[in-house]
Each structure stands twice: as C-alpha cells, then as structure tokens.
Structure 1
C-alpha cells in the first residue's frame, strides 16, 4: 500500500533543494517510493528556474547553501508565489533562523538527520492542510473554471484557499475575462455554497435606488417607497454578495458599504435601527482601484477592506493555453458535435482577444453555427475574427456611454447651464454634478461666447 493517496489525477509534485548531493538523492528516493512526483535542485537559482518551468505543490529546501541560502530562496518564492508551501531542513537546530523561517511563511522546520517517516508525515500533513492534490482533487473551483495554463492554475489555487474563509475578496481584471464566474466558483467551493449567490452591477442604478437595493428601505423612506424592501445584504444572508464594478459606487455609497462590511449590519433607508447581516462580500473591478484611490474617486479605507484577498484575473492573451480547453467547453455547452480544424484552432489560440473569454465564446458560437460540415475550417475562423475585431460592449458599458452622450447633449442644449440641465434631467443639482463628475464632463466646456 502506498503512503501517498492514489489518485486518478497526477500525484503532487515536490521540489527538493539541497546542495548536499547525497541528502538530495536520499530525500528524492523517499518521496518517489511514497508515490510523489519529484524534482530536484542543487542550489537556489536552479530551484527558481524549476519553479518557473513547472510549479510544484510543495518545496523542501535546505537552509545552509552557497550563493543563495534557504531563507533567501524562500524570500524569492514568496515574491513569486506567496501560497507555495515550503518545508525547511537545517543541519542545526538554529532557533533564530527557525523563527525567521516561520515569519517568512515556512510551514515546518526539520533538523537533520531527518527520519524518513517524519519527513513523509510532514509532507502529507502539509499537502492535506493546504488542500493540494495530495489530499483532495482540485474540487469545485477547478470543476467550474475551465483552464489548462499554469497562470490559471495558480490563480485557482489562491481562489481555493480564499474559499475556506469569509474575508472580503477583490477580483480585478479586464472586461469579459470571467470575474463573475470566478466569484461564483469561490462561492460554490466555500461553506456558504448552500446559501444564496446574489450579484448586483454597481453602475447600473441611480444612487438612491442602488442604496435601496443594497441596504433596503422602510415605507416612507423616499417618494414612492410604500412598502418595506429587503436589501441584497439581507437577501444574500448565509451566502455571498457579488458587487460587480465596485468602482462605480459613489463616495456616499462607498461609506455605507464600508460600514456594512465592518459592522456586519445595515441600516435600511428610513429605518431607525440597523439590521444584522451574514454575507461574504466579493467585489470586482476592471479599473486600477489604487489609481482611483490616488485620484480621490475611491475611498482608501474601503479599498483595503475589500482587498483582504486580492485576485488578479489576467486577460486571455496572457493565458493562451486555456483557449483550446475553453473552445471544447463552449462547443459542449452549445450541444455541438463539430470540431475546429487544427489550423482553425491555431488561429483562435494566436488571436488578440480584446474582449477576452466573452469574445472567444461569441466566435465559437458563430463558427459552429455557420460551418456546414463537422470540421470548422480555418477560413471561417478568419472571417469570424475579422468580423469581431473588437469586443461588443457590455450592458454596463453601453449604458455608461449612453448616459455620457445624454448628459453632454443636455449641457449643449442649455449652453452649459447646470441648473437648467438638471431640471431637464429630472435631477437635483447635487446629483447632477455627481453624474457630471463620474463622466468627467465640465459644464464650462459647453458655454459659448464667454
């Protein structure tokens, strides 16, 4: 019976780093006999190169090595992949160094000579505790998020770890990259999976209506509020609340959101008493929120409150290895038996994809619909890519573009008079000025003859 659990998937990969060749070979043999995949490096720089080539599930490194010692290696690993677990081995029970290693994120510290049983036990415990392939399959996140690239695998490992807690998550990435899907996968992998998954587009509603949707209201809170309305913080109780395009929130709404997250309670509009909540908040954005903070458009305290667990979803061109798997997935979703020719698939892999995964799906759907045969040819793919050279706007983007054109039209019609423009829009001056600020429209630019 093997000491490592047998899996249908590949066993976990362990990288052993030691400049003592005899000890390096010995540890590798132990791990191989226990059923693990094993890679080896005789010094720190070689280990970093091995990690770049293929990410291991665990690193076991010696402390005392020439050129780059174990602590320096761990520092470099942390910069590249802070979730990669490391076990350190030292020839001496150096307490200060052990404490420093623990501070740098080392999961265990063993003293040479290490017993075979002790080492294998620590390896199994570490992999099991961190939820890697040694103890469990990749689980629901990998199952719902199609990928093949190392970049996506590393992202999903972080997401899988984040799913074990309740801390707020901030997912950033370009439009169409799959931020909402990743959020749902995290929800499905968490202990809140039996609870509701509720989402709202922060830029889709006027400020007062958005506040009502998020926090609720009582009768008489504002004109037209005749019944009690339960906000999404209450609707999502026991589950996850997804705030799409959180950068679209006004500063006032940001303040209310920060209070709700910090205190885990909301005060419905018009209510005198707060209501407790129990939600996990995930926010998404396609803009540089740090730059928005610097510009004064986004609260710094809310930025750091949401960014407890930051996840960056890169554009599709930075993870091209995912494209063939995504294409196959989309064809299955469409119920199609058609397949792309090798040349056609290569065109898909090499395309620029400004609209990311959403655009790829559109092209796959177009090609499978228009192809007369079971094999989708290269020329049809080329035509689809030419016709979809730029990604169609999302509903939020289209709405924002319309709103900007509408506001600019009002300012032109009123010669830049904000009072008259606000009256035509049915808004008060304060709200109208906020809309102008959101769209970076200056009334002075619409005043002629001054």
Structure 2
C-alpha cells in the first residue's frame, strides 16, 4: 500500500501538526514551505499524494495544481482551504484536484481523504506499469523475432533480467544472436541511457588486452603516448558486453574479477584506483565451468559472470522461426536498395526448413539478402542428421498456418477458405502449434 504524502504549506504550525498526525498513522511525510521547492524535488511517478495549502507566497496552491496536472495528471492533489476559499477549491476540483479540506479539519477527515486518494494513486501507477510492460513486450517482439516456444521464453527472461542489477552469461553457438540479446538486456533496463560497449575477446591481441580493457597512463609502456581511457572505464554507468569470454587471457581474468568484486580499476601504469559502476554481460559458446576444470578459465570468475544464464537455441532447434526471420531479413535488405522482396516459393521454403544452418541466424540473414537482391537461391545443403521428415512437415505446416492467420488478420473463416480446412481440423492444428487467433488480430 502506498503511504507517501508531500505537505506544502507556508505556515510552520500547520506543517508540524499535519506531520505529527500522519507520522503517527504510519505515513511517510515530506514537508515544503513553498510550492516551488515541491516541484523542484518531486520525483517521476511519485507514489503518493500532494497535500497543499491554497494561499501561499510565490506559487499558490492553484498554480501548483496546474503545474502538477501538466506534469502528472494522475497525481492526487488535496487542497487545504480557508473558509473564504471554498468556491475557489470547488473550481479547482473541476480542474483536476482530488479533494479539498476546509480549515480547521480533523485528523479523521484528513486520514479518510488521504486513504481514498492513495488507493486511486495505487491503481493509476499499477495501470501505468502494465501499459509500460506491454509496450516493452511489443518492442522486444520486434527486436527478438520468433514465434517458437524457445524464443517466447527467451523474451520473457530478457524482460525479467533487464531491470535486475546482475551479471548475465549468454550461451549460444556462433551467429545465434548473442550480441543482440545483450543489447536488449541493456536497452530495456535502467542503464539504457548509458554506454553499451561491446568487445570481442578473441579479436584482441594478448599483448594489447590489458590496455584495451583498463586503459593506460602516458608512458606506461613503449609507445604509450598520452593517457587512454579503457573500455571498462568508458562504459561507467552502463554495460560491457564481452563476447567469446573464454578467449580472455588468464592474467586479465584475474583483473576483471577484481573489478567485479571491488567496483574499481586501475589504468596501466597508474597507482590510483578509479571507481566504476558496470554491468557485465558475457557470451560464450563452450561451458565455462568445463573450461575452468580444464585449466583454461578461472572458476571464481565463471561464477561471478554466471549470476544468471541465458541459453540461445541454435536455429535448427527452432525451425518454425526460419520463414519469419527469412522474410524479415529479405524485406529489410530490399527496402535498403529500393525494391520489393519476392516471396520464397514452396520449394525454397522447404529447402530453408530442411537446412541445418550451422551459421545460425547470421547464415540465414545472408541467404535472405541474396534472395532479396536477386542473386539466386541460396545453395543450401540438406541436413545430414537430426530432424525427421515428420518434424520438417510439422514446421512447414505451422508456418503455413501462421502465414494464413497473418494474411487474414486472425479471421478464422478466411483462413479456413484459404487453406481449405474444416473448422474443427483448423482448431486442432492451431492448438497443436500453439497458435492463438488473438495474436493476429488487426491492431
């Protein structure tokens, strides 16, 4: 239950009396003598109620109400009025005030009005939170494309982890989209306005690794001319994405562990520590604990990085996403060059679904771009093992159903006619593939 109240009144005796009443009743109280001070310190989505006098030097209670209505229309404002101010207070309620109390008022009257106002504020904030969650979910669906159960679960995990101050380890094969997932964890969390620094540990020569991560002072080593800010220091307040973390030299692993534990780093050649606030997102293909057992990775660092783990399924394990991704990449490429992308034929679609995609999404994007540019169908080798013919048929059937539902905007009669299926059969197939018509409705 919300219990925060801001009291704005130029009379110290009123402020003191109201604070005593409210504090004894368990409210969290903040006092201001002037409306200008309240506006300057009011946080976004303040979880409470404003209790304000009407007549004050500087901004009046009416002017404060007007400013607050512009800033947050859902914030309840209760006005404290003298006898002659009642008509003015009634007019203020027409303009958005929640209630008014005529002085002198009793503690019981005050508590009753505050209780109702706080209940309203709680509903407003909860409704606002749900809308924001829905907006974030829609944005994430446009960023991490896919309808498979694995992708839906991944999106839920990303939304859950994005707002948590924990390091994350992403496991996945080459080309499976690890950096994109890391970027989503950053963009959909509280660090979104701060730097996102991506670093591929396998691409940095070992001799330059320390200077690249931690920076250096002038003259720290031969050729070190001038001071240089390292990647970790540059990302202060934001997120560092360390791809192929298993390739990090052991000596630098120890220094990274110290940064994670102490939130401090030292530039190469410096004696002074610099405080940093970082979120580390690491990505790896092998199991870091197995790497640690083999002596190639520090076990203590592995545990520090793997506070939470996300596993990205290879494309061959989520074949129902292939047509959607192919269409997306082909359309994006075609738009860049000012042409329309031809739809893949049934034979091409079957070939896409049958391919093993060892390069995962990156390989699929390349094939889609070649298709969009008219450079010929991708030369895809058939799968040597793994998915059975029945599994491939199931994936193809799911894609046909999804395409028809999208084309007819969830209108079942149109889908039945397009696919020449009776209603009962269509319902059974949609249920088997986890398809819901509401997901395809227009708007």
Q: Normalised by the size of structure 1, how large is the TM-score?
A: 0.53
In structure 1, the residue matched to 2:354 is 350
Matched, 1:337 2:336: no
In structure 2, the residue matched to 1:51 is none
Matched, 1:385 2:380: yes
Poorly superposed stretches of 4+, deviation over 3 Å: 127-137, 386-389
In structure 1, the residue matched to 2:228 is 229
Checking the alignment, whether the CA contact within 8 Å between 1:172 and 1:311 is kept in structure 2 is yes
Once residues 193 and 351 of structure 1 are traced to their aligned partners in structure 2, the CA distance between those partners, rounded to angstroms, is 37
Change (3 A) 1:179 1:155: same
The Cα of 1:387 is off from its aligned counterpart by 11
Cα deviation code 1:208-266 (max 9, x no counterpart)? 31111111110121111121000111111222111010000111110001111111111
The Cα of 1:364 is off from its aligned counterpart by 1.3
Cα deviation code 1:155-193 (max 9, x no counterpart)? 111111110112111001100111011111111111111
SS in 2 for 1:384: coil
Cα deviation code 1:44-102 (max 9, x no counterpart)? xxxxxxxxxxxxxxxxxxxxxxxxxxxxxxxxxxxxxxxxxxxxxxxxxxxxxxxxxxx
Once residues 140 and 279 of structure 1 are traced to their aligned partners in structure 2, the CA distance between those partners, rounded to angstroms, is 25
Change (3 A) 1:139 1:302: farther
The Cα of 1:132 is off from its aligned counterpart by 10
Cα deviation code 1:327-369 (max 9, x no counterpart)? 1110121024321112211211221101111111111112222
In structure 2, the residue matched to 1:284 is 283
Once residues 281 and 162 of structure 1 are traced to their aligned partners in structure 2, the CA distance between those partners, rounded to angstroms, is 13
Q: Normalised by the size of structure 2, how large is the TM-score?
A: 0.54
The Cα of 1:195 is off from its aligned counterpart by 1.2
Change (3 A) 1:129 1:300: farther
Once residues 130 and 352 of structure 1 are traced to their aligned partners in structure 2, the CA distance between those partners, rounded to angstroms, is 42
SS in 2 for 1:340: coil
Is there any run of 5+ residues in structure 2 with no aligned partner, and where?
A: 1-122, 385-443
In structure 2, the residue matched to 1:143 is 142
Structural mapping, 1:245-256, within 5 Å: 245-256=244-255
The Cα of 1:133 is off from its aligned counterpart by 10
In structure 2, the residue matched to 1:21 is none
Matched, 1:368 2:372: yes
Change (3 A) 1:235 1:134: closer
Aligned length: 256
Change (3 A) 1:211 1:133: same
Change (3 A) 1:309 1:154: same
Cα deviation code 1:275-334 (max 9, x no counterpart)? 111221110011121210110111111001000010011110011111111111101210
The Cα of 1:206 is off from its aligned counterpart by 2.1
Matched, 1:179 2:183: no
In structure 1, the residue matched to 2:313 is 314
Once residues 133 and 343 of structure 1 are traced to their aligned partners in structure 2, the CA distance between those partners, rounded to angstroms, is 42
In structure 1, the residue matched to 2:239 is 240
Matched, 1:206 2:205: yes
Larger Rg over CA atoms:
2
Checking the alignment, whether the CA contact within 8 Å between 2:356 and 2:382 is kept in structure 1 is no
Structural mapping, 1:115-154, within 5 Å: 138-154=137-153
In structure 2, the residue matched to 1:259 is 258
Once residues 158 and 310 of structure 1 are traced to their aligned partners in structure 2, the CA distance between those partners, rounded to angstroms, is 10
Change (3 A) 1:330 1:132: same
Is there any run of 5+ residues in structure 1 with no aligned partner, and where?
A: 1-123, 372-379, 390-450
RMSD: 2.7
